[in-house]
Structure formats: structure tokens, C-alpha cells
Amino acid sequence: MAVCLPPLALYVHLPWCVQKCPYCDFNSHGLREGALPETAYTEALLADLRWEAEALQTGRPLVSVFFGGGTPSLFSADCIGAVLEAADRTWGLAKDCEITLEANPGTADAVHFAGYRAAGVTRLSLGVQSFDDAQLQRLGRIHDGAAARRAFALARQAGFDNINLDLMFALPEQSTAAAATDLEAAIALGPEHLSYYHLTLEPNTAFAAAPPPLPDEDTAADMLDAGGHLLQAAGYGGYETSAWARPGRRCRHNRVYWSFGDYIGIGAGAHGKHSARSGDGGLSIERRVRWRHPRHYLSAAGGAEVLQSRQAITPQARPFEFAMNALRLHDGFDWDTLAAHAGLRREDLAGVLETAQERGLLSVDETGARPTALGRAHLNTLLQLFLEPA
């Protein structure tokens, strides 16, 4: 089965924060131990990018670039611009390439935002999490509600017309009314995109070691349901488990992830997924993971030793791997995407598609498959079917 290769994106991980939040399980490191090693880390990123270009000959331009962290807004516009220039020279940026940078409202200023915009960043993602000052303190954030509003205004002044706000619900002792008030505050600012997600206790975090009192599952479900109604009434459409957007403003980079597309990952702990055509016209797919600790990454960037692991995704594993991503999207997937992104045919999934459809979890037609409302509500049950699709 001859297939095309999926779209290609670039993820750049900048792992430092002013301080580590108690709920965060991302690869991030507080700056209390010393100054930000911006020059050394930028050079490592560029060396990593050059090696990746030699190791991965794609022939595909980048449809999106995402600077994540950590707190990327701790880095200067010069660093961001240098990476973007190198990426453009290496692979080329698509004409309408979406370039996102995550920013912490506590590190926001007009000069930085204007510099990022001039460097080529087209989309800003502000980690607001809440507008409630007491909640922000419990979450270990370095900003307050006023700083969040100020950061949004500064982003607009810098020329950003595509802004995402990250907002959490089911916060410690939060009521349904308080969650709605928080969301209404976010909507009132008029962002193009909202990531509205449930606070969960992740292993190896301060919150996991000393759990705060959180709302029960039923209350959290009520918050999500009420939030969905508020977002829909305000003109936002839900397109993924926790993502809401104005028309035409869905996050392209995240859609690369959720559609099982390809992405290069550079930076400490960055993940990547690479596809290549095999000799028989099929598809080989590999995941790559870089060393997590910045010191190890800094010493290894520029060669194959930067990889902590690399693993082929076998044809047997692909149905679940693909579904685990694609079925987060409300639109599901079409058959061409299944072939191009996973090297699978509709016939390969005939059994699981029939079972999921019979149980009312999946809608299947000649164009593709998409989760029903029941399937979205019981996504884990739906995904379990794809573990043994034969």
C-alpha cells in the first residue's frame, strides 16, 4: 500500500521556569539553582536541529512550530528568532506556518512580546490557569489575576491576533460557580482559543505527595458540562477533549499531534515521531525521546547520543497508537489520514470499527470514523477496543 507522508511540525522544549508548580509533571526546572543558560542552550538547540536535519531527510516544510516548556518567555526574542531562522533554512516554513510560544503572565512585558512577534511568532499561549488570586497561590503560580489580564493586553498591543489561554477547573475546594466565574473571566478577554482542562494529580509532583482537597468526580463533571455551555454560547467550538476555538482558529500544531502526524522534537526531554516510506511502499514509524535533564542534553546535543531512546511503532501497535490520538478529536479521522499517518487501511480495523459502532461509541461512514457523544464520554472504553483490533 503506497502512502503519502503526514504533515511535519517542530517542537522546541525550553525547560526552565522561575519556580516549579506543585501540580506540574512536565520536564521543567526552577531557576533557583542559577541563571538561565540561554546562550549555551540556544547553541545546543541549533546543533540538535542540524543533526536532526542530517538524520531525517523529509522533503516536507514545517506546518507548525511550538515553543513549549517550562517557560519559553524566559528566553529572549534573539533565541527564538535564531531557532526559527535555522528551521526555515533547514526544512522551510510553510507559507501559513503557525508558530506558537508559551508564555507565563508572570514573565510578560511589552518588549518581550513585541520581540517575539518580530521574530516570527504568530500565536501566543498564555498559561493563566485561573484568575482567582487565592487559587493561583495554591497552584504555585508567580502571577495574579491582574497580571494575567495585563499580559493579555500586552500581547494584543504587540500585534498578536491569535492567543490561547490555558485555564484549569476542578481546583482545590473550587465550587461549580467559582469555576464558571473563572471561565467567564477568560471568555471576557476574547481569546481566539481556550484550553480548558481538568486539574489532575500526576505522579512525582508535590500535589501527588500532599494532595489538596479537590472536587469529587461528579462536581468536576458538572464544571465541565457547565463550561461547555458557556463556551458554546460565546461562539467557541469544541474540537478536542479540552480545546475550544473560534472558527478558523483551531491549533494546527496540536492537530498534528492528535491526527498522528509527524513532529521533530528538539530540546531537553523532547519527543518526536518520524515516518518514512519503506521499500515496499508502506510506512515505517519511529518515536524518539531526548535526554530529560538539561545538563545531559547540553553535553549530548549535536549527535545521536542526544537520544535517550528510539522505538519503532509496529503495524500491530498502530491501531491503538493512532486511535489514542485521533479519537481525541471530535471530528475523528478519515480513511486517507489513516493510510497516510498510520499506514493502515479501513479493512485493517474492520472488526473494531464494527464493534465500536454496535456499542454506539463510534460513527462510521464512507468518509471516515468519529466518536459519538457517548464515545467521547467513555473514551477509554472506546480506545480499549483498539488494543486488539483483529
The tens place of each residue's pLDDT in the chain, 390 residues long, gives 445 789 999 999 999 998 889 888 888 888 865 689 999 999 999 999 999 988 776 678 999 999 999 999 999 999 999 999 999 999 999 999 999 999 999 887 878 999 999 999 999 999 999 999 999 999 999 999 999 999 999 999 999 999 999 999 999 999 999 999 999 999 999 999 999 999 998 998 899 899 999 999 999 999 999 999 999 999 999 999 899 999 999 999 999 999 999 999 999 999 999 998 876 667 899 999 999 999 999 999 999 999 999 999 999 999 999 999 999 999 999 999 999 999 999 999 999 999 999 999 999 999 999 999 999 989 999 999 998 755
For residues 250 and 347, state if they share a domain.
no
Q: Does some domain include residue 69?
A: yes
H helix count then E strand count, the chain:
15, 17
Domain end: 233, 256, 279, which one? 256
* 311 sits in which H/E element: strand 307-312
**Are residues 174 and 79 both part of a single domain?**
yes
Query: Looking at the structure, do residues 27 and 141 belong to the same domain, yes or no?
Result: yes
d(CA 124, CA 127): 10
The residue type at 374 = L
Q: Judge if 95 and 226 occupy the same domain.
A: yes
Q: Which three cell numbers stand for residue 212?
A: 489538596
- For the entire predicted model, the pTM comes to 0.95
Specify the DSSP class assigned to residue 329: B
Adjacent-strand bridge partners of 169: 198
Supply φ then ψ for residue 337, to 5 degrees.
-65, -40
DSSP 4: P
Whether residues 193 and 51 fall in one domain? yes
CA dist 325 and 328 (Å) reads 6
Q: Are residues 168 and 46 in the same domain?
A: yes
Cβ-contact 329, 239 below 8 angstroms: yes
Q: What are the φ/ψ torsions at residue 3 (nearest 5 degrees)?
A: -135, 155
Distance CA 72, CA 343 (A): 35
206 and 352 inside one domain: no
Residue 285, in any domain of the structure? no
Last residue of a domain, one of 205, 226, 256: 256
The verdict on 353 and 241 lying in the same domain is: no
Please count the CA atoms within 13 angstroms of the CA of 309 that sit on its side-chain side. 8
Residue 53 lies in a domain: yes
- Say whether both 252 and 323 belong to one domain: no
State how far the Cα of 356 lies from the Cα of 323, in Å rounded to an integer: 12
Domain that holds residue 224: 8-256
Helix orientation angle between 38-55 and 77-90, rounded to the nearest 10 degrees: 10
> Does any domain span residue 301?
no
Report the distance separating Cα 236 and Cα 128, nearest Å. Answer: 18
**H or E, element range at 8:** strand 8-14
The cell for 373 is 457523544
Alpha helices in 206-317 (DSSP H): 206-209, 217-233, 252-258, 294-300
**Residues 202, 351: one domain?**
no
Number of domains making up the chain: 2
Residue 387 phi, psi (nearest 5)? -70, -30
Whether residue 264 lies inside any domain: the answer is: no
Residues 323 and 251 reside in one and the same domain: no
The CATH number of the domain where 367 resides is what? 1.10.10.920
Residue owning grid cell 545546543? 44
Residue 267 lies in a domain: no
37 within domain boundaries:
yes
Q: Could you say which of 230, 256, 282 is where a domain stops? A: 256
Q: Are residues 201 and 95 in the same domain?
A: yes
Is residue 304 a part of any domain in this protein? no
Place of cell 517550562: 70
